[in-house]
Amino acid sequence: GVRHIREIERILATVPLNPSALPCVEALRERGVRTAILTCGIDLLANRIAAVLGVDACWANSLQTTKDGLLTGNGIPNVTLENKHRYLRQLAECFNTPIEQTAYIGDSAFDIPLFQTVGFAITTSPELQSFANFYLPFENLHKLPELLP
């Protein structure tokens, strides 16, 4: 049957946060680095993670609901594979940061064009090492601040 958005929120609330994510963001914040989540995933999860981590911005896709909160079965594609590149540039502009001084962390082949756009590309996927400046396993995100120039 038709589900309510609160059911999805409850399910997504159980998704664990990478234990090294918070120390990473905190260390970046101490260095004055602004952070963001830019994902083709669902905003319900991305916004929760952004709030826990205290990132500066979060852009993701939405689930369409009725005014009563029932899911329609449709999504609202805010960030797509085709426009993610544009959003990355907008984020850099919002942060008054040249794209060449922007870092990007990605884990899929769809991130390769974004790796090629920024000044500092990090992948968490061993298969993408040749496309990024650094390979950093997901569980070692806390080491990211040490890699930044």
In sign, the C-alpha dihedral spanning 50, 51, 55, 60 is positive
- pTM for the model: 0.90
Given a cut of 90, whether residue 69 has pLDDT beyond it is yes
Summarised one tens digit per residue, pLDDT across range 20-41 is: 999 999 999 999 999 999 999 9
Cα angle 112-45-120, degrees, rounded to a multiple of 5 = 30
Summarised one tens digit per residue, pLDDT across range 71-121 is: 999 999 999 999 999 999 999 999 999 999 999 999 999 999 999 999 999
